[in-house]
Structure 1
Amino acid sequence: MKRAEDLRRARAQSTTGEIAQRLNWLRAGVLGANDGIVSVAAVAVGVAGATEGTGPLLTAGLAALVGGAVSMALGEYVSVSSQSDSQKAMIARKKLDLERAPQESLAHLARAYEHKGLSPATAVLVANELTGHDALGAHLSAELNLDADDVVSPWHAGFASAIAFTLGAILPLLAILLPPENIRVPVTFVAVLLALGITGWIGATIGGGSRTKAAARVVLGGAVALAATFAIGSLLGSSGLVG
Structure 2
Amino acid sequence: MTNAGGTTVADHGEPHDDALGSRLNWLRAGVLGANDGVVSTAGLVVGVAGATSSAQALLTAGLAGLLAGSLSMGAGEFVSVSTQRDSEQAALALERRELDATPEAELLELTGIYQDKGLDPVLARQVAIQLTAHDALGAHAETELGIDPDQLANPWHAAGASFLSFTVGALLPLLGMVLPAASVRLYITVAAVLAALVLCGKVSAQLGHAPVRPAVLRNVVGGALAMGVTYLAGILLGATGH
TM-score, with length taken from structure 1: 0.88
Matched, 1:125 2:154: no
1:121-200 equivalences in 2 (<5 Å): 121-200=122-201
Q: Aligned to 1:22, what secondary structure does the other structure show?
A: helix
1:65-144 equivalences in 2 (<5 Å): 65-144=66-145
Q: 2-side partners of 1:2 and 1:98: how far apart?
A: 24
Amino acid of the structure 2 residue aligned with 1:90: A
Matched with 1:208 is: 209
Q: Deviations over 1:14-55 (max 9, x none)?
A: 946554443332222111111100011111111112222211
Q: Deviations over 1:147-189 (max 9, x none)?
A: 1122222222122111111111111111112221111101111
Of all paired residues, the percent bearing the same amino acid is: 47
Q: Aligned to 1:140, what secondary structure does the other structure show?
A: helix
Q: 1-side partners of 2:14 and 2:124: how far apart?
A: 14
Q: 2-side partners of 1:181 and 1:118: how far apart?
A: 70
Q: Aligned to 2:183, what secondary structure does the other structure show?
A: coil
Q: 2-side partners of 1:48 and 1:14: how far apart?
A: 46
1:52-71 equivalences in 2 (<5 Å): 52-71=53-72
**Structure 1: any 5+ residue segments left out of the alignment?**
none
Q: Aligned to 1:162, what secondary structure does the other structure show?
A: helix
Q: Assess if the C-alpha contact under 8 Å between 1:43 and 1:61 holds in 2.
A: yes
Q: State the shift of 1:101 in Å.
A: 0.9
Q: Assess if the C-alpha contact under 8 Å between 1:200 and 1:211 holds in 2.
A: yes
Distance 1:222 1:231, change over 3 A: same
Amino acid of the structure 1 residue aligned with 2:236: L
Q: Aligned to 1:3, what secondary structure does the other structure show?
A: coil
Matched with 1:31 is: 32
Distance 1:219 1:13, change over 3 A: closer
Distance 1:107 1:119, change over 3 A: same
Shifted more, 28-37 versus 201-210: the winner is 201-210
Q: Assess if the C-alpha contact under 8 Å between 2:15 and 2:21 holds in 1.
A: no
Q: 1-side partners of 2:237 and 2:192: how far apart?
A: 25
Q: How many residues align?
A: 238
